[in-house]
Amino acid sequence: QQNDANDNLKNNNHPKDTRMQLPKQYYAKGNYFKLENQKSPFTRLIYPLPDPKGGLGVHATMDLSGSTRFGPDVQWLPPDFDGSEDENIDWNVDAERSKLFYDAIREYWPGLEDGNLVPDYTGVRPKLWNPDLRNSCSKSDNNDDGGDEGVSNN
């Protein structure tokens, strides 16, 4: 009987009730901007308060060459995007979002001068919820279970 169980595992013949149901993933594009023409005051990573619309907020990171980058922001991709390589994603940094970056960065660094952020790179990352969709799996609008408001404790 042990061999039958091993064969079932190998051949993916699991009884339906033991299969783990994976949650739907939502995807967000993150833009990054690089600091130029101004000395960064930072020697450590800077993480502001998380953004309630998703993400950790526009944070500051330093690379090995000493350059400072800010990002990512959260630019939600369509809910039907499934992460396939053949999907049409504009991988360019959306330069129009620089005003949002200046505003976010000046919350913790008021000395950032105009014109010193240049588009750098983008990335796409999966999320377990999308604040624009009511039925995303890991976000809850009620607090009936006694946990933190807005967080599912299931």
**Measured in whole angstroms, how far is the alpha carbon of residue 6 from the centre of its chain?**
38
* pTM summary value: 0.71
- Average pLDDT of the chain, as a whole number: 79
Q: Which range has the top average pLDDT, 10-24, 77-91, 131-145? A: 77-91
> How much is the pLDDT for 17?
55
Sign of the C-alpha dihedral, residues 134, 85, 71, 99?
A: negative
- 27, 77 Cβ separation under 8 angstroms: yes
Average pLDDT over residues 76-95: 82
Tokens found for residue 72 = 């990512």
Residue 114, exposed/middle/buried by CB under 10 A (0-12, 13-18, 19+)?
A: exposed
The answer, yes or no, to whether residue 119 has pLDDT greater than 80, is yes
Residue-wise pLDDT tens digits, 52-64? 777 788 999 999 9
Residue given tokens 């619309």 in the structure block: 53
In this structure, are residues 12 and 19 in contact, taking their beta carbons and an 8 Å threshold? no
Question: Is residue 145 within 8 Å of residue 153, measured between CB atoms?
Answer: yes
Amino acid at 66: G
State pLDDT tens for residues 10-21: 666 555 556 677
Q: 5 is written with which tokens?
A: 């169980």
Q: What percent of the chain has pLDDT over 70?
A: 72
Predicted pLDDT at 3: 59
Joined tokens for residue 143? 């607090």
Q: Which helix (H) or strand (E) holds 118?
A: strand 117-127
Task: Check residue 149 and give its pLDDT.
Answer: 45
pLDDT digits (tens, 9 = 90+) for 35-79: 999 999 999 999 998 877 777 889 999 999 889 999 999 998 888
